[in-house]
Amino acid sequence: MITDMELHTVASLLRRGHSLDQFSTGLTLLGALLGLGQWWVGVIDPWLLLLSAALLVLGMLEKYWALRVAFDADLFQRMADSSQSLAERTYTLDQALISLGLQPAARAGRLWTERRHGALLLLRRQSRLLAVQVVLVLGFILASPWLASSI
């Protein structure tokens, strides 16, 4: 049985996804700037265009996971703050999710350990997408010809 403190802890961890999302948004905007900047200066580099497209696609995927993580963070926080019994809160939550079409009726009544595992899995997916964005940007910086010529 999960405790209120565990619910608070999971909600707090999931709220860290907002920081990841902000960093990813910056990298996504960098990708947009790299892509559009080529047309502004009139020189188009296919590798830079590929990097730009990859950053934009990864940024949009990360944004999707960030929205889901934020939604789960709010739900876990609401569950932790409620004064009802956990069973009542769970039933009410499941009914709301089912009526909104966000959860199939067959998944109602899942254990909170399963829900916690699923929510943290979403956070891991979000962080992996951000990590790929960072690796792409760092790889581009380290492989850039202007860096090699200045050393």
Give the pLDDT confidence score for residue 1 in this predicted structure.
73
Rounded Cα gap, residues 133 and 137, in angstroms: 6
Tens of each residue's pLDDT in the chain, 151 residues:
788 899 999 999 999 999 999 999 999 999 999 888 888 888 888 888 899 999 999 999 999 999 999 999 999 999 999 889 999 999 999 999 999 999 999 999 999 999 999 999 999 999 999 999 999 999 888 877 665 555 5
HSE-up of residue 70 (Cα within 13 Å, Cβ side): 11
Structure token digits, residue 114:
């399963």
Question: Taking the domains of the chain in order of start, what are their residue ranges?
Answer: 4-150
The three-state secondary structure class of 97 is helix
The total number of residues written for the chain in this structure:
151
Place of tokens 């860096």: 147
3-class SS of residue 54? helix
- Residue 118: predicted pLDDT: 96
| Tokens of residue 116, six digits | 């916690």
- Both structure tokens of 71: 């939604």
Q: Taking the model in full, what pTM does it have?
A: 0.87
Question: Whole-angstrom Cα distance, residue 54 to residue 9?
Answer: 34
pLDDT value of residue 148: 53
